[in-house]
Amino acid sequence: MKYIFFSLFLLVALSSFAQSSLKQNFNTRNDLALEGYDPVSYFEQKPQKGSGSITSMHNGIKYRFASHANKQKFETNPNTYEPQYGGWCAYAMGLSGEKVKVDPKTFKIINNKLYLFYNFWGNNTLDEWNKSESQLKNKAETNWSKILR
């Protein structure tokens, strides 16, 4: 019986730690993801600002939605719609493992996953990503897993 309680305690503690680590490393402002853009709208190839009255929390992070239908899609399977690398620039994550801000309107869907990119002052990192996507993606996965440790 002691082992069952200990196992349950350990499971809850590890789950809380993983959620805390993700939230701590997620690109948010006031716990708001994607600068208020609707995560589902990216998969329709039209990023839209979400409404402050249509929101959902996932892993301690607030998401906004352009419609109740999009909110329902997200809540059915939130991991499908979350941005990769905590919403930080995919190119920077692959290049150096740095957490660099993004332009929420500069994105790419790859294998049904959302990737965001820095695009300011004439520097659109999506262009560079496209030149070496496979290599950068592999490095980004490695770098992101180190950040989450």
Q: What is the pTM of this model?
A: 0.84
Which pLDDT score is estimated for 33? Answer: 96
β 32-33/113-117 pair status? unpaired
Query: If DSSP codes are grouped into helix, strand and coil, which group holds residue 120?
Result: strand
User: Could you tell me if residue 20 is inside a domain?
Assistant: no
Contacts of 147 (CB under 8 A, 6+ apart): 25, 86, 97, 99
Which pLDDT score is estimated for 1? Answer: 52
Report the distance separating Cα 108 and Cα 94, nearest Å: 15
User: Could you tell me if residue 98 is inside a domain?
Assistant: yes
In the chain, what is the straight-line distance between the N-terminal and C-terminal CA atoms, in Å? 31
88 shares a domain with 72? no
Confidence of residue 11 (pLDDT cuts 50, 70, 90): very low
Cβ neighbourhood burial of 67 (10 Å; 0-12, 13-18, 19+):
middle
Task: Work out the average pLDDT over 109-136.
Answer: 97
68 shares a domain with 91? no
Q: Does 104 score more than 90 pLDDT? A: yes
Split into its structural domains, the chain has a count of 2
DSSP 43: T
Which pLDDT score is estimated for 29? Answer: 85
Count the neighbouring beta carbons within 10 Å of the beta carbon of residue 87: 24
Which pLDDT score is estimated for 21? Answer: 57
62 shares a domain with 121? no
55 shares a domain with 111? no
With CA atoms as reference, report the closest residue to 59 among 9, 17, 22: 22
Q: Does 18 score more than 90 pLDDT? A: no
Report the distance separating Cα 96 and Cα 106, nearest Å: 19
54 shares a domain with 35? yes
Which pLDDT score is estimated for 19? Answer: 47
Among the ranges 2-6, 30-34, 46-50, which has the highest mean pLDDT value?
46-50
Range of the structural domain that residue 126 is part of: 83-149
Contacts of 66 (CB under 8 A, 6+ apart): 38, 40, 41, 48, 49, 50, 51, 54
